[in-house]
Structure 1
């Protein structure tokens, strides 16, 4: 094994990581703190970036995860991509993990926003990746936990431009599909789809590894329009918006209800998410094939066992990164976890 690894990292089959909550513009995160065992939580820490090699937009280090030996995970992956990601992944995606995982819970409704596609990001933001995402709802509070996804009806470009120019929050939010959510629900959010999450909705969020957001409803949330549009002019930024209406049939293809499924392995995401990321809910004794991955323990205690590395104890609130080189592993004990992975190297896009 390369000397790049410290003994602490190389001895483990999976590597437990602490909370990583870069400051955001909105409040939240009480459920993250509760999941991790209690204590005080950062007032502006509603997002926990788990095993992140992605920085916040325009920042050099904010958002990155540190390994136990003090290195940034990003730097460790860049130094030995095959060890962390596997040769097939590297051939397809280079030294990018092709994945960003977050825990997220807001005390307030998030502003309506959307994210660029791969093509737009390549043309305007110098990035291979846009920001398709998906939500795994793991908790809710309040009387009406909801999310908002896509326009109900087709909207003309001049109408969107007018709403944004006048910051007509009522019109923007009122034009979207309002979706009641409960734990076990999952929502796929294709790039370009305007969306928002209501207060008290606690999710695991899988994303492509960028921090690109076009914030349509920025007044009262962000300092100015420039920060809402990633420094682009308004017209260019609004090219990201999918203005097509999303009907019930399309919504049904994006949303899954998995709360009542009790198998050892429950695939969580809509079929359309497969080219971007994978997520399963695992319970009990489950085999894991070799892959870079992120594990978030929702309940119980147990361990992850590998053939070549040390057994690693896990419990409710543990978050861990798994390198490809750990090989085939097995979860054991009374654990309920969400296992997040990048797309398979052969996934069509």
Structure 2
């Protein structure tokens, strides 16, 4: 096999942002922050931050942009169905580490149908969180606990009434190992003190209902659509079945094989597994985060070692692969089941 088509180790890719955080990313990845406002790292990203040039694009430790590698050989990287992807460098997934040391604003991401109609993109931004660490009492705010009147929401948004919005959202404490699916269209916010691996559809679409705690203005908060149009992406219905969106997982006990970390309804958008020794994965693109030293074995006998904190981009051409190691522990992020053939499907959640 061409050595260029082995899993590639990714260089650090910290992102400057308006909110404070990033120390736990640096500790896990064995790197240093250049300032206290680097709360995100985009892992093996082939899409940039919205409106910011190439910021967010990830490079290998050899200095090559993964976007360019995938675009140069999409069949090798994402498989024979590559022509059905949204763009030549599309991997079907965006993975981040997010370490919030201050509360994130109330915001919403659009669903696929809205994004296709208004943003000329087949992807929305359904996302998920896997809690790697959480300070006691820190919580997620997800969906409305009761239906809200759209006109009242417009008024409270314009008044930047954070207290009103948060008081009407479901709140539940974050715990290490918790996997949470965040359906597109669902209002959400994240408390300070929470550190997650976030896997999502590969876009950077965010509609801010609460911009006053950010560096954005009102005019920068509605996806350049105007709020009259953008609010069509926001569900005002009650989200009552939180348990169906949350899965408890143990990230610390010895792992064997592969274990799903998100509720089954996430599979249409992305897949997230914990892999211990003896885990087996089909050929396909994957982003791997090593929580402990682990060896990846490819179908043709090739081996690649991942030390704790390493991030690997695994191409489809590596073939089916499995894991080994006495303390093997990987988080494996993959595109949705059946992707890219399912890219045109309507939203599930």
TM-score, normalised via structure 2 length: 0.92
Query: How far apart are 1:306 and its partner, in Å?
Result: 1.5
Aligned to 2:322: 330
For residues 149-160 of structure 1, the aligned pairs below 5 Å read: 149-160=142-153
Give me the whole-angstrom Cα distance separating, in 2, the residues matched to 1:309 and 1:80: 22
1:181 to 174, 184, 187: 174
Aligned to 1:218: 211
- Is residue 258 from structure 1 mapped to residue 249 from structure 2 by the alignment? yes
CA shift digits 1:272-326 (9 cap, x unpaired): 111100010111232222110000112x213212134742221211111000000
- Is residue 70 from structure 1 mapped to residue 63 from structure 2 by the alignment? yes
Aligned to 2:113: 119
Query: How far apart are 1:39 and its partner, in Å?
Result: 3.6
Query: How far apart are 1:27 and its partner, in Å?
Result: 1.3
For residues 185-200 of structure 1, the aligned pairs below 5 Å read: 185-200=178-193
Q: Which secondary structure state, in structure 1, belongs to the residue aligned with residue 230 of structure 2? A: helix
The alignment of Structure 1 onto Structure 2 pairs a total of residues equal to 338
Query: How far apart are 1:89 and its partner, in Å?
Result: 5.0
Aligned to 2:93: 99
- Is residue 318 from structure 1 mapped to residue 318 from structure 2 by the alignment? no
TM-score, normalised via structure 1 length: 0.92
CA shift digits 1:91-128 (9 cap, x unpaired): 36563211000011110010010101111111111211
CA contact (8 A) 1:135 1:206 kept: yes
CA contact (8 A) 1:315 1:335 kept: no
Q: Which secondary structure state, in structure 1, belongs to the residue aligned with residue 71 of structure 2? A: helix
Aligned to 2:137: 144
CA 1:70–1:309 in 2, change beyond 3 Å: closer, same or farther? farther
Structure 1: gaps (5+ residues): none
Root-mean-square deviation (CA), in Å?
Answer: 1.9
Aligned to 2:231: 238
CA contact (8 A) 1:50 1:100 kept: yes
2:332 to 320, 324, 339: 339
